Structure 1
Amino acid sequence: MNDEQLLRYSRQIMLPQIDIEGQERLLSSRVLILGLGGLGCPAAQYLAAAGVGEIVLVDPDTVDTTNLQRQLLYSVDDQGTAKVTAAKARLAAVNDGIEIETVHGCLEGEALFAQVRRATVVLDCTDNFTSRFAINAACVKASVPLVSGAAIRLNGQLTVYDHRQPAAPCYRCLYDEQSNENLSCSESGILGPVVGTIGTMQALEAIKLMTGFGKTLNGHLMIFDAMTMEWQTMGLQADPECPVCGQA
């Protein structure tokens, strides 16, 4: 690192859990963020500020008026602009010392796997089961850790699926293909700070995975209730009959 980087990241380098070695790991890491809505916006902002060397932003949508209530990377002037374009401009203004790549669209099949296998960590910030199943399968196949977040109404959940660890579960161990595809923010509503909380914690788990400090949520699911301000943690087990990771 040069003197400017040492100064920029000095507050987190001071932490013994990060130190110079951890910061160098962040600078040499590549994070794939799938979805730039209420979860992806805070996650991307904190990872860019923390100095992750390469960030890949993937989203097919443009900025809409209804996004502005919770997706804080965007402004009124960004309406009608591709989310990845607006997000890249905002993140580059925060930290011009990192590389930001964008994909305006959905990644599927081999294109998805090609991006996943190049990543140090993948963040699933999407809002539908079809995408989540595909992302999970690609991460299991590539053995790349996945940080998964979700939020609806006044509730959120967060977990890590890391198949570099023995007996780790995957997303498909918890949910089957009959899961409710219809739950969406547009139909059910969402409070901004709820997705902000979960997205921020996705960034935290990603930093822990990249630097190697602390225990991650691998094998555990955290559930947040904003009404009562309570967190619950559940242990997760791999399903030996899982069609994605069971044979692995």
Structure 2
Amino acid sequence: MKSSMLGYIAGFLKYGMLIFWAAAVIYPVVWVFLGSLKSTESFYLHPWGLPDQFHWEVYKKIFTQYHLQINVWNSLYISAVSTLVVILLSAMAAYGLVRLKWKGSKAVMGMILIGIMIPVHSTLIPIYLDLQSYSDNIDTRVLLMLPYIAFGIPTSILILSGYYATISRDMEEAAVIDGSSLIGCFFKIIFPISMPAVATAGILSFIHSWNELLYALIFLRKTGAQTLPVALLQFMGFYSTDWAQVLAAISVAMVPGIFIYMVLQNYIVQGITAGAVKG
């Protein structure tokens, strides 16, 4: 009887903490969305309450007056291309470092992973000085992708190499016996069965590129090339701010991240925990 009571108490505490954590995560998202539907007067009078009237026209305004769709497309373009390049390069690099035996592989892995310890924005000035001379001949969005890719590769290699270490070599050896090349083994066997790790590395790279502001603010000086985080600054006035428009733009910016997490959540959990169970 006593043990069952302790079990009920433990279950109550566990699920209570989970419910509290879920509410703490979901509430800010709901508050931002509801705040975007309020009038300016209602927002200042009742910032934490429900809207008196739902003003859906604010979403039409941010797309027709501020042309936010251009910034959304720029963010999608930069984030998607950067993520694809990061995944391709990181997957091949991790395969060569973990699945192939050669001298110096551990040293090379250590040098690559040093990149994780370097603060991203500490390199802004030297990278900008090196790349600004190309801004007249190359699309600045392409120049912005270069640091995104460079800083996304070390983390992706760390995730993918941990997952590759858990994969049995039997299928790979059988494929080599049947005449498959190393490239064939990678693209036909290793890469397809490592989708959980690929999804994890991809979502982290995408979210970083999607949310990054400082590099985009410095590199993208043309209005038509600016990403969504940079465009959010135009809604902040010097003397006053229309918070309904700000929150509406933030709501739009949250959609891709939430959607990707919902679709790939199972893969993300598998990819993060795969390397941890390696004996």
Q: TM-score, normalised by structure 2?
A: 0.23
Which structure has the highest helix share of the two? 2
* Structure label with greater radius of gyration: 2
